[in-house]
């Protein structure tokens, strides 16, 4: 997956890996978080039917599985919005059931429907002071996006990069905050990965310190500029939820 930007009439592509000559590059015209039919209808304006691996995988998923996935998605939003449950276990169980509706590997089809629930939970756990759960959930988000990671007591490494979505930088910064609390030895590695994602997505990392640097955070002036703020997708009230 590549990101695209412009300087005047020059188009710039950035990728997270070396690309052999003559490779066809595919990039997102729209946010990857919409439903398949919504995405396809938006893409009609561009005059093509998207046949990227994610759309193809969804088209090949049975109606029964899609229906089940949507039902679970609705159920999660419902209990978030009503504040019905502050039990992480309840949400995790629903996420497991949702994950079971995917038939392809996450490296082929990222778990689109799991992203918003996961980022909501990460925020909730962060504000509830549960760094271990934040770590677990950010790891799960990375796996859902097709990343392969290797975590030991003293290192955090990405073995295979996955799909890059805007929310990933904020979640990796949350991971850094949690590691700073629980295992500071992993902080430098995690921050390196977060910064690399930022570089791929923004095209520069000169503003990294300004946006997400840890010094800035200490002074309470971290701005997160240039990136989509997590709060856009937050279900109302989730920041007030105290998870147990």
Residue 207 C-beta: closest distance to Zn ion, Å: 30
Cβ-based nearer residue to Zn ion, 13 or 132: 13
Does position 165 interact with Zn ion (CB under 5 A)? The reply is no
Residue 182 interacts with Zn ion (CB under 5 A): yes or no: no
**How many Å separate Cα 227 from the centre of its chain?**
13
Give the SS3 label for residue 150.
Answer: strand
Q: In the bound complex, what is the minimum distance in angstroms from residue 112's beta carbon to Zn ion?
A: 11
Query: If binding is defined by CB under 5 A, does position 50 make contact with Zn ion?
Result: yes
Tokens 């503003």, located at residue: 207
Residue 55 binds Zn ion, judged by CB under 5 A: yes
Nearer to Zn ion by C-beta: 9 or 51?
A: 51
Residue whose token pair is 């934040």: 134
Q: What are the helix (H) ranges across 183-226?
A: 187-202, 208-212, 214-218
CB of 54 to Zn ion, least distance (A): 5
Q: Identify which of residues 2 and 52 has a Cβ nearer to Zn ion in the complex.
A: 52
Which one among 33, 52, 77, 199 touches Zn ion, defined by CB under 5 A?
Answer: 52
**Cβ-based nearer residue to Zn ion, 52 or 180:** 52
User: Based on CB atoms, which residue is closest to Zn ion, 1 or 50?
Assistant: 50
Report how far residue 188's alpha carbon sits from residue 180's, in angstroms, rounded to the nearest whole number. Answer: 9
Assign residue 203 a region (left: φ > 0; alpha: ψ between -120 and 50; beta: otherwise): left
DSSP conformation letters of 170-189: HHHHHHHHHHHHH-GGGHHH
Residues near Zn ion, by CB under 5 A: 50, 52, 55
């Amino acid at each position: 997956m590549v990101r695209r930007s412009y300087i005047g009439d020059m188009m710039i592509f950035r990728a997270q890996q070396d690309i052999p000559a003559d490779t066809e590059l595919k990039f997102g015209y729209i946010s990857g978080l919409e439903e398949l039919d919504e995405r396809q209808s938006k893409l009609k304006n561009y005059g093509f039917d998207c046949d990227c691996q994610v759309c193809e995988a969804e088209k090949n998923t049975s109606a029964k599985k899609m229906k089940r996935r949507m039902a679970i998605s609705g159920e999660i939003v419902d209990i978030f919005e009503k504040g019905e449950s502050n039990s992480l276990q309840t949400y995790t169980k629903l996420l497991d059931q949702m994950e079971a509706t995917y038939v392809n590997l996450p490296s082929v089809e990222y778990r689109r429907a799991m992203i918003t629930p996961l980022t909501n939970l990460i925020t909730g756990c962060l504000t509830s002071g549960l760094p271990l759960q934040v770590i677990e959930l950010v790891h799960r988000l990375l796996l859902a996006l097709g990343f392969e990671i290797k975590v030991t007591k003293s290192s955090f490494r990405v073995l295979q990069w996955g799909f890059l979505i805007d929310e990933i930088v904020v979640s990796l910064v949350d991971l850094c905050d949690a590691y700073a609390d629980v295992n500071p030895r992993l902080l430098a590695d995690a921050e390196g990965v977060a910064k690399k994602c930022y570089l791929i997505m923004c095209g520069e990392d000169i503003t990294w310190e300004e946006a997400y640097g840890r010094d800035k955070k200490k002074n309470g002036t971290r701005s997160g500029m240039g990136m989509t703020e997590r709060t856009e997708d937050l279900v109302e009230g989730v920041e007030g939820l105290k998870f147990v």
